[in-house]
Amino acid sequence: MKLQLFTAPVIEPVDLVQAKLHLRVDDSFDDELIDPMIITAREHVEDITRRALLTQTWDYSLDGWPCGNATTLPLGNLQSVTSVKWKDTAGTEATLTLNTDYLVETNGDQCGRLVLPYAKPWPTAALFPSNPITIRFLCGWTTPALVPSKIRSAILLVVAKLYESRGEDTVGQTVVEDKTVARLLESARLRGELP
């Protein structure tokens, strides 16, 4: 199984104005520094929560068809499945058809699933030896306002930490690990067996 980002989010859960307000920065001298910190903070929070925060497109590659009648898609907040493509041993690509070959369960902010229709099997042809099945899907909340406030607050805390300590921590200096971010994100973390 392999997960690869196809299209990154075009907006962030926290914008530059919100970040500067949180940092108490009134001028625009550090705007070019703060903008990438917002992206880094969002990516860090996504790693901790195991979910995509705002609309993004991912390719999920499988080495074979699922043993059962469904497969779970990672990252939560499934919006839609764009395509399910597979290659046979000759490398010929075929595309499954939504509602005929598979169904989609979005499951709210949890992980969505790709499910076979009743009594329908997965294709039976022999598969290509490398990444034969690719599921392209959209996931994440659709607007920053829908991202839970705990998550947005955690992003602001991470931005503040990045802004305040722009270099490596000094050897011998006492570094206190901030557990506030972890506590804020605890309830947002996707749990259970994820692909």
Strand 56-62 to strand 103-105: parallel, antiparallel, or no bridges (unpaired)? unpaired
10-56: pLDDT as tens digits = 999 999 999 999 999 999 889 999 999 999 999 999 999 999 999 99
What are the backbone angles phi and psi of residue 184, rounded to the nearest 5°?
A: -65, -35
Note whether 136 and 82 are within 8 A (CB): yes
Least confident segment among 68-72, 155-159, 168-172, 180-184: 168-172
d(CA 112, CA 154): 25
State both tokens at 91: 């490398």
Q: What is the average pLDDT value for the chain, to the nearest integer? A: 90
56-68: pLDDT as tens digits = 999 999 999 999 9
Note whether 135 and 57 are within 8 A (CB): no
Strands (E), 42-97: 56-62, 70-72, 78-87, 93-95
Length of the chain: 195
